[in-house]
Amino acid sequence: MVDVELALLRSLVRTGLAPPDAETDADADAGSIDIGALGVSSGERGTPVPALVRTLGDQLAEQSARFLHRGATSQDIVDTAIMLVARRALDPLLADLGSAAGVCARLAEEHRASLQPARTLLQQAVPSTFGLKAAGWLVALDSARSALAHIGQRDLAVQLGGAAGTLAALGERGLEVTAELARELGLAQPVLPWHTIRLLPARLACELAAGLGAMAKIARDVILLAQTEVAELSEGAPEGHGGSSTMPQKRNPVKPIAVVACAQRAPGLAATILSSMAQEHERAAGGWQAEWEPLLELLRLCGSAASSLHELLDRLEIHPDRMRANLNLTGGLLMSESVAAVLAEYIGRSRAQELVEAAARRVGEDGRELGDVLLELPEIAATVDRQTLKRALSPENYLGVADRLIDRALAAHRDRGSK
Amino acid sequence: MVDVELALLRSLVRTGLAPPDAETDADADAGSIDIGALGVSSGERGTPVPALVRTLGDQLAEQSARFLHRGATSQDIVDTAIMLVARRALDPLLADLGSAAGVCARLAEEHRASLQPARTLLQQAVPSTFGLKAAGWLVALDSARSALAHIGQRDLAVQLGGAAGTLAALGERGLEVTAELARELGLAQPVLPWHTIRLLPARLACELAAGLGAMAKIARDVILLAQTEVAELSEGAPEGHGGSSTMPQKRNPVKPIAVVACAQRAPGLAATILSSMAQEHERAAGGWQAEWEPLLELLRLCGSAASSLHELLDRLEIHPDRMRANLNLTGGLLMSESVAAVLAEYIGRSRAQELVEAAARRVGEDGRELGDVLLELPEIAATVDRQTLKRALSPENYLGVADRLIDRALAAHRDRGSK
Amino acid sequence: MVDVELALLRSLVRTGLAPPDAETDADADAGSIDIGALGVSSGERGTPVPALVRTLGDQLAEQSARFLHRGATSQDIVDTAIMLVARRALDPLLADLGSAAGVCARLAEEHRASLQPARTLLQQAVPSTFGLKAAGWLVALDSARSALAHIGQRDLAVQLGGAAGTLAALGERGLEVTAELARELGLAQPVLPWHTIRLLPARLACELAAGLGAMAKIARDVILLAQTEVAELSEGAPEGHGGSSTMPQKRNPVKPIAVVACAQRAPGLAATILSSMAQEHERAAGGWQAEWEPLLELLRLCGSAASSLHELLDRLEIHPDRMRANLNLTGGLLMSESVAAVLAEYIGRSRAQELVEAAARRVGEDGRELGDVLLELPEIAATVDRQTLKRALSPENYLGVADRLIDRALAAHRDRGSK
Amino acid sequence: MVDVELALLRSLVRTGLAPPDAETDADADAGSIDIGALGVSSGERGTPVPALVRTLGDQLAEQSARFLHRGATSQDIVDTAIMLVARRALDPLLADLGSAAGVCARLAEEHRASLQPARTLLQQAVPSTFGLKAAGWLVALDSARSALAHIGQRDLAVQLGGAAGTLAALGERGLEVTAELARELGLAQPVLPWHTIRLLPARLACELAAGLGAMAKIARDVILLAQTEVAELSEGAPEGHGGSSTMPQKRNPVKPIAVVACAQRAPGLAATILSSMAQEHERAAGGWQAEWEPLLELLRLCGSAASSLHELLDRLEIHPDRMRANLNLTGGLLMSESVAAVLAEYIGRSRAQELVEAAARRVGEDGRELGDVLLELPEIAATVDRQTLKRALSPENYLGVADRLIDRALAAHRDRGSK
């Protein structure tokens, strides 16, 4: 808010609405402001700005103090300040999302051949690769990052409307001051003051929440894959993190849990901002004031989650041997779809289906796998050679276009990066 | 869903994965499908698709039925179908938003000179114009419309991943089928199957909710301006609408209330979709299934609100005389800021402030207005001529850049329209 | 958390699980704990408790430190601490709600005869009294207060389950320690440890949100009645509060806006806690951690709103003359229902309705009121005497059971108070 | 709504406000009402009630039709009808919750000795039993059921306020009609008409959402325990349910996913109702209308989830052998806390901790378990006898008060049942 008030003062000087000497000492000391006192005054006046202007004025020379806040209303200062905070918060957030995406790109490339069971409804379904899973994470992070970067670079806009949106106290020069203020602060200039047109905070909130949702998907995958019984990933925490001295077997997935916990709070906060949009006339009686904390909280949660996710991915330990072992847990049943398709070429689709289903029911008896059961069937033994059947039972041969999909994700990632 | 299954069948034929005669009778009759039976089966299987495929297969010739749904999973059909529904629902929705914006543009132009008190925190603040208020509505509607149009034209994407995202059942041709399916349905082709990358439904939901918020702001303004005690607008309902036979004075603002009621439900629905984003592995166990109804509901609510808003604006009755009368309710106090600024030029800023505040406290005594009280002060009478004071007390002269702001809103509106 | 750890230590001593000298210096200094360091450690371990135990142990004698936290898990400490905070926060909150209800009871009694237009859909409907409106506020506050008091006195329960809910580290004495800890802290003893049975925080959150909703209804009524054009209530703020030096006519409704702004945030926070209930197995990976801040925030918001509401009601200025003036704004149309009912006794229901509707359409012509128009009708003049008509047009005579309803609300209020 | 209008008619007769012959044919046929026509009229009037009254009146004799809806406003009919729907929906819902709780009670009793790893943060922590897990489910269901039963029996209240809450159109008899109507419909009589006091729908919504959260916790546990890699539970679906013909190994947990999907939608719906509580004056302009569908939807979702949960628990297959096998996955590391406690008695707490931690790091080398590693240590071999160590390593001996907790849960369940 201090930065906004001082930028406004400079803008008034530039547009001739304040004398040149008004900004000489415009570098007031925000650090020395008594935040508690602002809070008390905010309780009495419904806004922290009047007390801030008074305090700030005391720090400035008289010729500057007189022009401080000229032409502005409290909402101009608060809204613009939140936009500034958003832009500043987005920098590290975007950097973390970018680094996290970079790790995902590396994992996608390196683990093209790390076979892993794909799981739908938390049941093993068909074979896939950890590379493709990482490619999915990559696409999500790239999309989240790019949407937030777009908002940061193009949408965050200065607010200046004066008492009620006409900028009347600045006479004919209101729009020039707005333009100057936007330039000063590196924010966009809106078509109109947006005192009660709240699409900007709503969209920022939604995109932060969507980004948190994208991160939570990755974190939840890691948590599930780090389960004691699955053990395909582990957090690779530094000494002392996530451990339990009394339960040494535990490798608590601290970082992904932090990501999930942050994301868990986002929908409610975004909903609060969305539900505050129907703001009355030229300044809302409650709806606007309710936006402040949720929006700042969303920035904090999204930044925190991005940092945790980056750290998590950076030190993620991947266990391809365990992925492969889990792939074999069901005695080849994961390959039923594949083998039925191959058999169909020899004995017709519906007969193939029938035989595979019957065989599947016997998998596990005496430890037999699907291939063993099928080979015992005379009908199969007579028509399909062992080698063909073996190929149809190899997960490597039933990965569809997994590799081409990884290529697409990596290409899209490079494209975004080069922009 | 029927359209998706049939488009998939045609795509299989085009890519050589089904024989040319498979699509001969591809125009199955969606109307004859027993929806109740799909529901029962959906309760048993967790998805309506297997029953749909069976029913649909019965309608097709055997050579087509055999290839129906080939390579797809239930989620492919449901997700793509929801995208199709979204695109179809967006057409009338965007038309209504466009028409509503058109009315706002007209109102902004026509009511540049309709003075109206600007209200902040529901208190009269300073003068403004109804034209500027309409310009604010216009900017909001244009922005909402343009974001939704962008999603409709560029983002809505086909879903095709097969059992778990690798498209394995389509061998090497999975991506070609996807491309063909996208072309068939007029939807975008995603980088990857987005089974558990849910940014697309999340963003669609958020933008629908934001659009509803923008509409609710307008509707709430209308409801407040239509209050018995304010009476600056009325709904202009056709005979029988919004009236009450036993309370003939009532002009119930039926349409704006409908808009507010629709919008009221949006944040919770958007939050549901945002909170479902952390979808497990390759298909979620609950999160995905929870999206279906809220997303369709948001489309319905947003379309309904846009239609109500369009209708409301179309027949809105504006009462500039009453706006002007309300402007005078406070005996000129609305002009305090203006008059203090003018007096400052004669007697200095702080003295001017003092006199105006003192005078303001006496407004209303014996029906006196601010001008009367000020003129009785010898200090004023001696330094400021009556004409200057009168000008400073005229709301017309304290509208700031209201007109230029209207110009900007109209120009931006034309710009969007020409794209 | 310090209080919980020390109470646990005392409970271990009482149940013989720690030696008597373990609690000698159990009054450690919570104030000297480095909160920032707890935060850092919390980021690394996912919980602030291990660092707290270390820090606290350093403050205690060795024989006490050794038994600190014995048998507990981090969640036991955090959950119990939040329950303690809740109980402490509820005290002033309930006092404020009680005082606010007290003011409403006084207003209901004092304003039985303060006629005011009832407004439905923000249109004047029929006459009512400000006393009845205050009685409605009273019923809402009493109900909110009583539900929160019930939770505070009966439901807030200690959490103690040890590593995973079996209390294994306390051998056979786990339940005795739990009972002792509950007694120490004045909290209830749950049937089972509720690590992942989250009905208690969910219900607390919901009832706080419902209480905020009830307060927001009152605040919104005040804001609407304080509008410049309505002016039936004003905040009666002390000098300097809610005023605007440049816009002296403004009496910003600061306190009711604060109430609305607090309440606006509650649904999203409650939804976050509700959406975190599906907690995995014996400790959640994200859902539990997401509860902490929203629950504390709800306590803060509800307490803050109750304080603002109490203050607002305490100094509320009521303007019965203005209520009466507004009642007359529509030229008697508010009495159409009443007058039609009386006329029905003379000329039949449907004819009465017809005449009143026709007359209503002419109200306002040449300033005529409903009574004037009706009396000009020969059919009326011939059948109904002037006095009867006048009575049917008097708002005082069309208040139904308003007074008996006030009696009921006051009686219910006294009943609750005496419990 | 038909039932409410007819009950109102009967109440008017009973209180002498309508002639005795008015209710002769009060059994109008709700089934023949054209719902679509009500919808159209609802769009025009903002409420379905006027059209309903007209339609219903056409079905009644003239002497009845004349008194239909007398004294009521649309909101009276809609609110009371929703309360009726709630009471009717609660019957099967409570029955399903009761049956589900009954199954949990049986499982808790039967599986006292079914050892299972307790899992915190989705990592195996210490031993517990499936019986204790089921006891936790039981406590949650009992609590949810009992709160909803309480609302159903005591809180659901009739709404009757007339045009604006004074019941003026019923003269002096308004409260008698209300009492009669409540009696007729088996609903409670409120202190005041609650047109804009919305605590009742808010609390009903919250308790439905909390109940859904409690059910989702159970469902999520089942889904996690049914994972291919965990396999401790399975849904035991009838032939054809949850299976996949092409992936025969899949046992899709259809019912628990349905429960989770229902619950996922509850927080947003409850938030919508909470956020609609600040209803203006004597009838809200949007907030009330927004409640209708979310409240009915919550009843539907909660009922549907309870039915699915009941069905799921009824046919749940439990695999204690697999629980035991999973308990052994970590080579005894789950017993570290237990064994360190026992060793502490021989060699002191801190030395015991040290040795166990060191040993834990070597578990898994050459397939060795914790007991093997410890016994190789001379310090242990010298001080602790083999039998003692073995006992300390047996999960059976480290269950704390699991059995007593089950007893408490079962006793509380019986207590509730006997009330």
pLDDT tens for B143-201 read 999 999 999 999 999 999 999 999 999 999 999 999 999 999 999 999 999 999 999 99
Task: Let me know how long chain B is.
Answer: 419
CA pair distance B118, B224, nearest whole angstrom: 13
Cβ of D213 within 8 Å of Cβ of C221? The answer is no
**Looking at residues D331-349, what average pLDDT do you find?**
91
C124 in Cβ contact with C329 (< 8 Å): yes
Q: What residues contact residue A409 under an 8 Å CB cut-off, 6+ apart? A: A105, A108, A135, A136, A138, A139, B191, B192
CA pair distance B20, C96, nearest whole angstrom: 77
CA pair distance B79, B289, nearest whole angstrom: 10
B94 in Cβ contact with B149 (< 8 Å): yes
Q: What is the structure's pLDDT at C125?
A: 95
> What is the DSSP annotation of B332-400?
TGGGHHHHHHHHHHHH-HHHHHHHHHHHHHHTTGGG--HHHHHHHSHHHHHHS-HHHHHHHH-GGG--T
**Looking at residues A191-196, what average pLDDT do you find?**
98
Instruction: List the structure tokens of A18.
Output: 């304040």
D108 in Cβ contact with D407 (< 8 Å): no
CA pair distance A305, A217, nearest whole angstrom: 12
**Entry pTM:** 0.97
Q: Please report, as a single letter, which amino acid is at residue C216.
A: A
**Residue percentage of chain C with pLDDT more than 70:** 96
- State whether residue D123 is helix, strand or coil: strand
**Looking at residues C204-222, what average pLDDT do you find?**
98
D371 in Cβ contact with D356 (< 8 Å): no
Residue C273's nearest CA partner among C258, C255, C293 is C293
pLDDT of D27 above 70: no
The helix, strand and coil proportions of chain C, stated in percent and rounded to the nearest 5, come to 65, 5, 30
A219 in Cβ contact with A315 (< 8 Å): no
pLDDT tens for B263-320 read 999 999 999 999 999 999 999 999 999 999 999 999 999 999 999 999 999 999 999 9
CA pair distance C118, C378, nearest whole angstrom: 32
pLDDT of A253 above 60: yes
Residue to test with chain B: of A128, A143, A167, A275, most B Cβ within 10 A: A275
Q: Which residue of the set A66, A88, A244, A386 is catalytic?
A: A244
CA atoms within 13 A on the CB side of C105: 19
D206 in Cβ contact with D289 (< 8 Å): no
C277 CB neighbours in chain A (<8 A) are none
**Looking at residues C379-387, what average pLDDT do you find?**
90
Across A73-82, A403-412, B234-243, least confident range? B234-243
Across A49-63, A360-374, C26-40, least confident range? C26-40
Mean residue pLDDT across chain C? 94
Mean residue pLDDT across chain B? 94
Across the interface, which of B247, B260, B294 has its CB nearest the CB of D265?
B294
CA pair distance A161, A1, nearest whole angstrom: 16
> What is the DSSP annotation of C286-311?
STTTTTHHHHHHHHHHHHHHHHHHHH
Instruction: List the structure tokens of C389.
Output: 């008509």
Q: What is the structure's pLDDT at A29?
A: 79
Q: What residues contact residue A34 under an 8 Å CB cut-off, 6+ apart? A: A55
Cβ of C253 within 8 Å of Cβ of A287? The answer is no
Give the pLDDT band (50/70/90) at residue C349: confident
Q: What is the structure's pLDDT at D236?
A: 82
pLDDT of D251 above 90: no
Cβ of C242 within 8 Å of Cβ of A43? The answer is no
Cβ of C280 within 8 Å of Cβ of D401? The answer is no
CA pair distance B31, C143, nearest whole angstrom: 51
Please report where in the chains the tokens 């072992």 appear, as a residue: A325
**Could you give phi then psi for residue C329, rounded to 5 degrees?**
-60, -30
**Looking at residues B12-21, what average pLDDT do you find?**
95
Give the pLDDT band (50/70/90) at residue C239: low
**Looking at residues A87-99, what average pLDDT do you find?**
98
Q: What is the structure's pLDDT at C24?
A: 65
Shortest CA distance from A46: residue in chain C: C254
CA pair distance B410, B400, nearest whole angstrom: 18
Question: Angle between the C74-110 and C49-59 helix axes, to the nearest 10 degrees?
Answer: 100
pLDDT of A241 above 60: no
CA pair distance A368, A382, nearest whole angstrom: 20
Helices (H), D111-166: 130-150
Q: What is the structure's pLDDT at D320?
A: 98
Please report where in the chains the tokens 């966009």 appear, as a residue: A188
- Top-confidence range, B367-381, C53-67, D253-267: D253-267
Torsion angle (degrees, nearest 10) of CA A281, A287, A292, A295? -110
A294 CB neighbours in chain C (<8 A) are 265, 268
- Top-confidence range, A380-384, B249-253, B366-370, C75-79: C75-79
Instruction: List the structure tokens of A152.
Output: 């940061």
Q: What is the structure's pLDDT at D28?
A: 73
pLDDT tens for D282-317 read 999 999 999 999 999 999 999 999 999 999 999 999
pLDDT tens for A21-52 read 887 665 677 788 999 999 998 999 999 999 99
CB-count burial class (<10 Å; 0-12, 13-18, 19+) for A1: buried
CA atoms within 13 A on the CB side of A282: 30
CB crowding B55-93: b at 16 or more within 10 Å, else e: bbbebbeeebbebbbbbbbbbbbbbbbbbbbbbebbeeb
pLDDT of A250 above 90: no
CA pair distance C332, B35, nearest whole angstrom: 55
pLDDT of D243 above 80: no
Give the pLDDT band (50/70/90) at residue A220: very high
Q: What residues contact residue C208 under an 8 Å CB cut-off, 6+ apart? A: C148, C266, C270, C298, C299, C301, C302
Give the pLDDT band (50/70/90) at residue C174: very high
Q: What is the structure's pLDDT at B24?
A: 65
Mean residue pLDDT across chain A? 94
pLDDT of A239 above 90: no
Helix or strand holding residue C119 (H, E): strand C115-120
CA pair distance D302, D89, nearest whole angstrom: 9
Q: Which residue of the set C234, C276, C283, C307 is catalytic?
A: C283
Q: ipTM, 2 decimals?
A: 0.96
> What is the DSSP annotation of D325-366?
HHHTTTTTGGGHHHHHHHHHHHH-HHHHHHHHHHHHHHTTGG
Q: Are strands D123-129 and D115-120 parallel, antiparallel or unpaired?
A: antiparallel
Q: What is the structure's pLDDT at B419?
A: 62
- The DSSP output letter for C285 is S
Residue to test with chain A: of B17, B146, B191, most A Cβ within 10 A: B191
Instruction: List the structure tokens of D132.
Output: 């204790």
pLDDT tens for C245-263 read 667 677 889 999 999 999 9
**Looking at residues D382-402, what average pLDDT do you find?**
94
Give the pLDDT band (50/70/90) at residue A131: very high
pLDDT tens for D114-172 read 999 999 999 999 999 999 999 999 999 999 999 999 999 999 999 999 999 999 999 99
A260 CB neighbours in chain C (<8 A) are 285-287, 289-290
Q: What is the structure's pLDDT at D26?
A: 56
pLDDT of C153 above 90: yes
Residue D255's nearest CA partner among D239, D264, D242, D265 is D242
Beta-bridge mates of residue A365: none
Give the pLDDT band (50/70/90) at residue A350: confident
CA pair distance C187, A390, nearest whole angstrom: 65
Give the pLDDT band (50/70/90) at residue B417: confident
C126 CB neighbours in chain D (<8 A) are 163-164, 166, 168
Q: Please report, as a single letter, which amino acid is at residue A335.
A: M
pLDDT tens for B89-109 read 999 999 999 999 999 999 999
Cβ of C122 within 8 Å of Cβ of B268? The answer is no
Q: Which residue of the set C45, C244, C361, C408 is catalytic?
A: C244
Q: What is the structure's pLDDT at C241?
A: 54
CA pair distance C327, B326, nearest whole angstrom: 18
Q: What residues contact residue D76 under an 8 Å CB cut-off, 6+ apart? A: D4, D8, D159, D160, D161, D162, D193
Shortest Cα–Cα distance, C171 to chain D (Å): 5
Across A150-164, A234-248, B131-145, D96-110, least confident range? A234-248
Give the pLDDT band (50/70/90) at residue B242: low
**Residue percentage of chain B with pLDDT more than 90:** 82
CA pair distance B388, B343, nearest whole angstrom: 9
Shortest Cα–Cα distance, A23 to chain C (Å): 24
Residue C318's nearest CA partner among C93, C95, C97, C109 is C109
